Structure 1
C-alpha cells in the first residue's frame, strides 16, 4: 500500500470493529484503510500484518484470519448498503479462547447467531448514583533535592527548570537526556497513584511502563556504575537497553531480576501476596532475597513466568495476553475470581470496594477496554448473573 499507516492503531480499530464497539468516525477511518488494501488486492495480507505487528499477542491462526476476512468482506461498507453502527450491551463475555483475537471473534459470532442475549430482555439491577471515569496518564516525580512535581499529559515547565537532565515531561512520558552525566549518586522516584499510568525512558535508553499504584526508584545516571539498579513496587513492563558490561537489575521486596537487555513484566503488588515475572524476550535470572535453597535462582526463557509466593519460587508457562493486558489498555480475565478482578478495578478506577454477604463463588473469563467508564465494566459482570453493584461516590458495593 502506498499510504503510510499506524499498524498498532489499525489493530485497535479492528478489535473495536470485531466486538461491535466502534464509533462511527473510527469505523470510517478503518474502512478507508481496508478499502484501499482491497483495491490493491492486499486485504487479507494487510490484516494479518496489522494484527501480528503486536509482539505480545498470539498471531492470528489461518482459521481466525479467514473468519475476520469474510466478516469484513460481508460488511455493508463493501456491499454498498447503508451502514448503521450499534453498540450492544453484551459483547465480549462468552468463553475466552487461546488469544484475544479468538476471544472477540468467538464472543461476537456466538452472541449474534444464537440470540443468547437481547437488549430489551434485560433490566439492570445495578445502582449507579454516579459514574466513574477510567484512569489517565499521571504520576508524581520526586527529584534528588526532595522537590516533588506532578506529571500529567501536558508540558511541565517547572520540571524542566528543576532537572537539567530531563529532556521531556509531556504526553504521559518522562524522558532523560542520555548526554547529561551527573557526578554524584542522586536518586529520583516516580510514583503512579491509583487511576494512573506513566512511561519513563531512563538515561541508558531503557523504557519502562509503570502501572497504577506503583513506584520506581532509580539513579539520575548509570555512568561509572557496575550495575544499573532500580527498585520497583507495584507493576511495570521493561524494555531494557542492551549493555553486556553493565547488567540491569530490578529489585523488589522479595526478589531481584537481573538482565542484560530484554523485555519483561513484573507484578509485585503487596495485596496480591505474590510476585510474578513474565519474560517476553531475552533471558532473565530471578533470585529470591531470602533463603538459600536450590530454588533461590531461576533462569527464565521467553514465554515463561516465575511466581514467588510464601517464600517458594517456581516457573510456569506464561499467559502473555493476561500479563500484558494492562500495558495494552485492556482488562483480560481468564478463570479469575471476583475479588481478584475487583482489586484491579479498584486500582485503575481509584475506588474502594466492599462486599455484602453471600457473594457467589464464580470465576470469570473475558476482556474489555480500560477506557470504559466503570458502569460499563460492572454491567458486563451483572449480565453473567448472580452479582450486582452499587456505586456511591468512589465506593463500589458488590451485592448478590
Structure 2
C-alpha cells in the first residue's frame, strides 16, 4: 500500500466518513510492523493538515510514546474502540497548541470556505527588507548576494547566507556618525546584527533606525516603528534605548519584544529575560521577566503577559489566546500584504485561540478561522472580505 492510499484512509477517518471496510483496512496497516512507521507518519501529517498546524518543535520521543501507547492498546476489541483511542492519543498532543476551532467542523461552511480560498490564494510573506544608507542609497536585501554589501564610516555591512544583515566595526573611532534604516514592507521579515552585537528581528511593516557605530556614543539609541524582538548585548556603561512614538524602553542587556504599530490601540512591551525600564509621558515602569506594559496616550499599565503569544511571530507562528478577530486580521494583513474589508461595516466580535504556521498560504489560515462558525471570508486578489 502506498502513502497516498494511507493518507486517503486517514482523511476519511478524520472527516468522519470512513466506511467499516476502510477502518479495517487502516487498522490492518497500523497492526502491520512493516507499515506501522509509515501509518504513524502519515496520520500525524494528515492530522496537522486538518488542524492547519505543523509541529516542528514536537519532540520525536513524545510522538513515539503516543504511538507506542496506541500499539499497546490494539487488541481484539471492536474497531471503533481502537480508533477512539487513536483519536484521544493524537488529541493529547494537539490540545497543547490548539483550542476551540481546530478539527470537528464537518459542515458546509468549511467546504464553502475551502472552495473560495482555493480559487483566490495568497502566498505567505518571506525574508526581505530594504536597507537605507546614510547617503540615501537604498539596497533591497533579498535581491543581492551574500557577502559584503556596503562600507561606511568605520563599518562593513554584510549579508549572511540566511539573509541576516550584519554590521562589523572596522574602526572604533569613526570620523562621521551616520544612521541607517532597515525597513520591511508588508509580507517581509528580517534580522539585523547591530554594531554592538545586539540582534534585532523585525516583523512585517516595520523599520529600525540606528547609528552605524555606537563607539563614540554614551548610549545605544535606536528608533522602532512597527514590531521588533531584541536580544541586547550587555554593556552596563552604554544603556540600550528603543524609542517609539509614545515610549522609550531602556535596557542594559536583555531579551524583549516591542509592538508599536500605529494601527494598534497601544504599544506593548513584554520582557523575556533581564530587566527593562519603560518610560512614557504617563510615567515610568520597571518590567520583570514575563511582565508586559501597555502604553496609550492616557495610561501606562503593567500586567502579566503571554510570552509565547508575543514572540510567536519570531518563531514562524501566529498564536492567539482569546484574541479579537480584528487584531488577528491586522496581523494577517501585514504578513500576507492584503487589504481587510468588512462589507457590512461591522467587525465580528469573535475571540480566537490557536496556533497557526505563518508559512501556510492564506487559504489555509482563513479555513481555520472560518471553523469558528462565526465568520467567513471571500478573497479577491489581495482583498479579503470578512463576512458575518
Aligned pairs for 1:355-370 (under 5 A) are: 355-357=342-344, 360-370=348-358
Equivalent position of 2:263 in the other structure:
271
The SS at the match of 2:272 is: strand
Whether the aligned pair in 1 keeps the contact of 2:109 and 2:370 (CA below 8 Å) is no
Aligned counterparts of 1:136 and 1:395: Cα–Cα separation in 2:
19
* 1:275-286 to 2 correspondences below 5 Å: 275-286=267-278
Contact map agreement 1:359 1:387 (CA 8 A) in 2: no
**Alignment check: 8 A CA contact 1:124 1:382 kept:** no
Segment of structure 1 superposing worse, 168-177 or 134-143: 168-177
Query: Cα deviation per residue 1:291-344 (whole Å; 9 max; x = unaligned)?
Result: 5xxxx1111000100110232101000101111111111011111121111000
Segments of structure 2 that go 5 or more residues without pairing to the other structure are 1-40, 75-86
- What CA distance in whole angstroms lies between the structure 2 residues aligned with 1:131 and 1:297? 45
Q: 1:251 to 1:388 in 2, by over 3 A?
A: same
Cα distance per residue 1:107-150 (max 9 Å; x no partner): 79x95xxxx34489952246334210000001000011110000
Show the counterpart of 1:10: none
Q: Which residue of 1 aligns with 2:229?
A: 237
Q: Which residue of 2 aligns with 1:155?
A: 145
Q: 1:346 aligns with which of 333, 337, 341?
A: 333
| Counterpart position of 1:132 | 122
**Aligned partners of 1:19, 1:177: CA distance in 2, in Å?**
46
How far apart, CA to CA, are the structure 1 residues paired with 2:214 and 2:151?
22
Distance 1:330 1:179 in 2: 37
Q: In structure 2, the residue corresponding to 1:177 is in which secondary structure? A: strand
Corresponding residue to 2:159 among 153, 156, 168: 168
- Specify the alignment match of 1:337 in structure 2: 324
Normalising by structure 1, we get a TM-score of: 0.72
Kindly report which structure 2 residues correspond to 1:1-400, keeping only aligned pairs within 5 A, or say none: 17=44, 20-21=47-48, 34=60, 43=61, 70-74=65-69, 102-104=95-97, 116-118=104-106, 122-125=110-113, 127-128=116-117, 129-152=119-142, 155-156=145-146, 159-160=149-150, 165-181=156-172, 182-288=174-280, 290-291=281-282, 296-357=283-344, 360-400=348-388
CA distance in 2, matches of 1:394, 1:205: 38
Describe the superposition over 1:154-195 as per-residue Cα deviations: whole angstroms up to 9, x where unpaired: 625682467851133542200111344332210000001000
CA distance in 2, matches of 1:153, 1:103: 39
Whole-Å separation in 2 of the counterparts to 1:192 and 1:167: 18
Change (3 A) 1:338 1:122: closer
Seen in structure 2, the aligned counterparts of structure 1 residues 301 and 121 have a Cα distance that, compared at 3 Å, is closer
Structure 1: any 5+ residue segments left out of the alignment?
1-13, 35-42, 48-67, 80-90
- Asked if structure 1 preserves the Cα contact closer than 8 Å seen for 2:110 and 2:370, the reply is no
Q: TM-score, normalised by structure 2?
A: 0.74
User: How far is the alpha carbon of 1:258 from its aligned partner?
Assistant: 0.7
- Residues 250, 381 of structure 1: alpha-carbon distance in 2 compared, 3 angstrom cutoff: same
- Which structure: larger Rg? 2
The Cα offsets for residues 217-253 of structure 1, whole Å up to 9 and x where unpaired, read as 0000001211011010110000000001111111111
Aligned residues: 323
Task: Give the whole-Å Cα distance in 2 for the aligned partners of 1:158 and 1:146.
Answer: 18
> What SS is found at the alignment partner of 1:390?
strand
Cα distance between partner residues in 1 of 2:335 and 2:324: 17
